[in-house]
Amino acid sequence: MIYHHRAGPKRLERLAPGAEPGTFSRFSLEPVGATLGALLRGVDLREDCDAELLGELERALREWKVLLFRDQHLSAEQHARFAAHWGELTDDQLVSPPIHEPLDAYVEFTRDAQTVGLENEWHSDGTFRPKPTAGTILRAIEVPPTGGDTLFADMAAAYDNLPEPLRSRVDCLTAVHDWSLGAYADKYSGRVEELRAQLPPIEHPVVIDHPVTKRRTLFVNRLFTREILGLDPIEAETLLDLLCRQAEIPEYQLRFRWQPGSIAFWDNLAVQHYGANDYWPQRRVMARTTFF
């Protein structure tokens, strides 16, 4: 079966029905994508955030799904301190070590000729967990001269633009998420059975209500969704492929070009992301904090 995107205009609504756009006094905000992504200016994240600023950032995150910053040259301690405002911190490895203080959840990682990036597939982080991670704060330390962008896709817009009969159909379906697919199976070869005992496959709805905004949001991805339950296997495979392809539609996307000190702060339940691996074997160094 050949899948064709429908040509013509898309339904591109940033907000849930009835929701009002936010007003912000502590920073300026420049839209980047049609339904997601805003570049914020006037905030110095090296300084501790007061309650008013945190409240405005929270409203902006829920409205825009991805907040982007430039020239934020944070120390590891400052990065971890900012992340600690947003939830229970975790080191988003397959099996996270204990987190006793914010800095325990701070991770710097390098991609170069020896360590190849495996982020170039559309996905949401940790959907193989009973409780997927809620958000990530990613900061660029060193970037290649060209390439290495991160792309984001709005999965509420992806759901909104499914044909109505298909939306109704997928609303009640359940999918199995399994970390031991593709690149992860290769990365942890030799430990797959041991780690699968700790993190067995888990079921999630194909469509979720976002816990804060209540937007209906497509919740399957290429990297971790193994199958849709309750359907003929061939039908299930075809449907899963069709749903995963929704992240590929440019109208639902933004593309962020990194600079040293740039930050992308995203709602992991609202968007998928894709780390373009077009810079190998050049060097790219990033810092990450993740929270539930």
Residues designated catalytic: 123, 125, 273, 288
> Cβ distance 240 to 225 under 8 Å?
yes
Measured CA to CA in angstroms, residue 209 lies from 51, 57, 170, 218, 278 at distances of 27, 21, 13, 9, 34
Distance CA 291, CA 268 (A): 10
Q: What is the dihedral of CA 164, 267, 14, 7, to 10 degrees?
A: -50
> Cβ distance 157 to 277 under 8 Å?
no
Distance CA 19, CA 156 (A): 14
> Cβ distance 45 to 23 under 8 Å?
no
